C-alpha cells in the first residue's frame, strides 16, 4: 500500500527533512529518489560518500516503508545520529535516509535504483518492512515507536562487514580512467554506422591508441570505417539527418592522423568525406538554424563536432566562423537566464543529455577557435554560464540527472559523462578555474559507478526528441546493458579524465 499524506503532512515532512539536514554533520544534502503518485518529490537526506573509492565507514540506509509516523521516526533517527549517538557509532557509520517511500505502483525502478546507488552495508526499514531486497545486503526492520533504541542496538552489535554491493561499487570507482577506456574501446561501437555515436567511440579509440601506442586500437577503427573509406557504402540515405552528418567527424580525425601500413591512403580517402560532412553541417534552413537538424541543443554538438575539425584545415577557417555563429544563435534561443539550456524552443526542459550536447558543442568550438577569433569571447561566456549552473545542480553522489534541475529525476549516465568531459577540458585548458576540479572528480566517480566491469552501462536515457512537457522528459526510459551511446560517452569521459590526471 502506498503511504498517503493528509493535507499539510507533505509540507510538514519537507520542513522537518530540511531542518534535520541543516544540522551540522552527515547526512546533509536534501535530494529526491523519484515522484509520488501525486507528482510530489519523494525526498531523501543524503551524504556525499556513496562513491568514495576507499570507504572508511559502513554505510547505513534508513527507509520509511509504512506511514508518516515511520517518516517522523527516521527524521528523528537522523537527528540522533548527528547529535546524540555514541561516538563509536558515529565513527563507524554514515547514513542516508529515505523517510517515506511513496512510489507509485507503476514505478518499478526508482526505489531500487536509489537504494542500490547508496551502496549500503546495512538497510534498516522503519515500519512494515519488506520493501528492500538487495543481494548480499542485510536488511533489518524496526518499529516506528522504538526506532532509535532498536537502531542503537543494531549498530552497536557485532561488527558489520562491507557488503558485496558496496565492495563492487568501490571496485568500479577504483579503476583508472585509461584502464576503463581500454574496456570501452574494445567493446564499442557494437553497431558501426555513420552517426555521431560510433564516431565518438572511434575518435576516442584513436586517441587511446595514440596515448598507449596500441596499434590494434587504430586497426579496429580503420576496419570498422573501411566500408565508407573504400566507397563500398554511402554515408547517407535519401533523408539526411544532422546526427548522421556528425558521424563524419571521424573522417576529419582519420585524415589528421595520417596513413599507416594497415590502412594506406585512407587518410586521403577521408578528406572528401569530412569535407562533405562540413558542407552539410554548415548548411542553414534559416539564419542560425542548421538545415539538417531539429533546432534542438543536439544540433550544437552535431554541427560543431565536424566544423571544429575541418576549420583547422588551411583554407577552411570559415568553418570555425560558422560554428561560432551557429552556437551563439542556438544559445540566444535556448540558454536560460540561469545558464542551463532548455532542449528546444518547444521543449522547455533542461534535459540532461540535451545539456550535454550543448556543453560538448561549446567545448568542441573552444578547443578549435584561435585565441584572437572574434566569436570566441561570446562562446566562452556561454560555456562558463552553463558550467556554473551545472555545478549547482550536481546530485549528492556527483551525477547529473536526466532533467538537470529536477532532484526527483534519475541520475543519468550520458549527462554525467558529457558534462564531466566539458568541465574537465575547461579545467585542463584554463577556461574555468581549478575549483571545478573537485566537481569533476566527484562526477567521475559517479560515472564509474555506472559502468560495469565488462563495459556495460547503467541508466542511459533512451533517444529523446523535443517534448512539450516536463513529464515527457521525466518519463523517458533508462537503458541498462550494452549501449553504444552510453559506451561512447563514457569512453570520451575516460580519455578526458586521463588527460586531466596527467596535468
Average pLDDT over residues 457-473: 96
User: In terms of pTM, does the model score above 0.85?
Assistant: yes
Cis peptide before 259 (omega within 30 of 0): no
Specify the length of the chain in residues. 503
Q: From CA 413, how far away is CA 465, in angstroms rounded?
A: 18
Cis amide prior to 424 (ω within 30 degrees): no
The secondary structure of residue 377, as a DSSP letter, is H
Which of 459, 437, 439, 466 has the alpha carbon at shortest distance from 354?
Answer: 466
pLDDT tens profile 475-499: 999 999 999 999 999 999 999 999 9
Specify the pairing of strand 122-126 against strand 58-64.
Answer: parallel
The pLDDT-based confidence of 3 (bands split at 50, 70, 90) is low
Residue 86, Cβ density class (10 Å: 0-12 exposed, 13-18 middle, ≥19 buried): exposed
Which among 240, 206, 196, 227 has a CA at the least distance from the CA of 360?
A: 196
Tell the CATH topology of 175-501.
Answer: Glycosyltransferase (1.50.10)
pLDDT of 377 over the 80 cut: yes
Of 271, 193, 263, 187, the closest CA to residue 453 belongs to 187
Interval 12-42: pLDDT, tens: 999 999 999 999 999 999 999 999 989 999 9
pLDDT at 488: 98
Where exactly are the structural domains of the chain?
9-171, 175-501
pLDDT, position 8: 61
Between 56 and 376, the higher pLDDT residue: 376
- For domain 9-171, give the fold: Rossmann fold (3.40.50)
Average pLDDT over residues 289-311: 98
pLDDT of residue 261: 45
d(CA 204, CA 210): 10
State the chain's mean pLDDT as an integer: 94
Cell matching residue 150: 532498536
The phi and psi torsions of 480 (rounded to 5 degrees) equal -125, 130
The predicted-structure confidence for 214-273, as pLDDT tens digits, reads as follows 999 999 999 999 999 999 999 999 999 999 999 999 999 999 886 454 554 557 899 999
Amino acid at each position: 500500500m502506498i503511504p498517503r499524506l493528509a493535507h499539510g503532512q507533505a509540507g510538514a515532512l519537507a520542513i522537518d527533512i530540511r531542518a534535520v539536514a541543516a544540522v551540522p554533520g552527515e547526512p546533509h544534502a536534501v535530494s529526491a529518489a523519484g515522484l509520488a503518485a501525486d507528482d510530489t518529490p519523494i525526498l531523501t537526506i543524503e551524504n556525499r560518500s556513496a562513491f568514495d573509492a576507499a570507504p572508511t565507514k559502513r554505510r547505513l540506509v534508513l527507509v520509511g516503508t509504512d506511514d508518516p509516523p515511520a517518516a517522523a521516526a527516521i527524521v528523528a533517527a537522523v537527528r540522533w545520529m548527528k547529535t546524540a549517538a555514541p561516538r563509536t557509532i558515529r565513527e563507524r557509520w554514515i547514513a542516508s535516509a529515505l523517510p517515506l517511500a511513496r512510489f507509485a505502483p507503476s514505478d518499478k525502478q526508482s526505489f531500487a535504483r536509489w537504494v542500490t546507488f547508496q551502496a549500503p552495508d546495512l538497510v534498516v526499514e522503519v515500519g512494515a518492512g519488506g520493501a528492500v531486497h538487495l543481494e548480499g545486503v542485510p536488511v533489518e526492520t524496526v518499529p516506528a515507536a522504538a526506532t532509535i533504541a532498536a537502531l542503537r542496538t543494531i549498530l552497536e552489535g557485532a561488527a558489520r562487514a562491507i557488503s558485496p554491493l558496496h565492495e563492487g561499487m568501490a571496485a568500479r570507482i577504483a579503476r583508472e580512467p585509461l584502464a576503463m577506456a581500454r574496456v570501452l574501446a574494445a567493446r564499442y561501437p557494437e553497431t558501426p554506422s555513420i552517426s555521431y555515436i560510433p564516431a565518438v567511440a572511434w575518435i576516442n579509440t584513436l586517441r587511446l591508441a595514440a596515448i598507449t601506442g596500441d596499434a590494434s586500437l587504430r586497426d579496429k577503427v580503420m576496419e570498422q570505417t573501411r566500408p565508407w573509406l573504400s566507397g563500398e557504402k554511402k554515408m547517407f540515405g535519401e533523408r539526411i539527418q544532422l546526427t548522421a552528418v556528425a558521424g563524419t567527424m571521424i573522417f576529419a580525425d582519420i585524415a589528421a592522423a595520417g596513413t599507416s601500413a594497415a590502412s594506406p591512403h585512407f587518410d586521403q580517402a577521408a578528406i572528401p568525406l569530412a569535407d562533405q560532412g562540413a558542407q552539410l553541417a554548415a548548411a542553414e534552413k534559416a539564419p542560425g538554424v542548421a538545415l539538417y537538424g531539429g533546432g534542438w541543443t543536439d544540433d550544437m554538438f552535431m554541427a560543431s563536432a565536424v566544423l571544429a575539425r575541418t576549420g583547422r584545415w588551411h583554407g577552411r577557417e570559415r568553418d570555425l566562423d560558422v560554428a561560432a555563429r551557429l552556437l551563439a544563435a542556438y544559445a540566444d534561443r535556448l540558454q536560460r537566464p540561469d545558464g542551463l539550456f532548455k532542449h528546444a524552443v518547444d521543449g522547455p526542459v533542461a534535459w540532461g543529455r540535451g545539456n550535454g550536447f550543448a556543453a560538448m558543442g561549446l567545448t568542441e568550438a573552444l578547443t578549435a577557435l584561435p585565441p584572437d577569433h572574434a566569436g570566441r569571447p561570446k562562446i566562452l561566456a556561454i560555456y562558463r554560464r552553463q558550467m556554473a549552473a551545472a555545478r549547482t545542480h550536481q546530485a549528492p553522489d556527483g551525477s547529473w540527472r536526466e532533467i538537470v534541475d529536477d532532484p526527483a529525476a534519475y541520475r543519468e549516465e550520458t549527462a554525467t559523462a558529457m558534462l564531466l568531459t566539458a568541465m574537465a577540458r575547461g579545467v585542463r585548458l584554463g577556461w574555468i578555474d581549478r575549483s571545478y576540479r573537485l566537481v569533476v572528480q566527484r562526477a567521475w566517480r559517479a560515472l564509474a559507478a555506472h559502468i560495469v566491469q565488462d563495459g556495460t552501462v547503467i541508466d542511459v536515457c533512451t533517444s529523446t526528441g523535443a517534448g512539450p512537457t516536463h513529464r515527457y522528459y521525466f518519463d523517458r526510459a533508462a537503458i541498462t546493458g550494452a549501449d553504444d551511446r552510453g559506451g561512447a560517452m563514457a569512453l570520451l569521459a575516460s580519455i578526458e579524465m586521463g588527460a586531466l590526471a596527467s596535468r
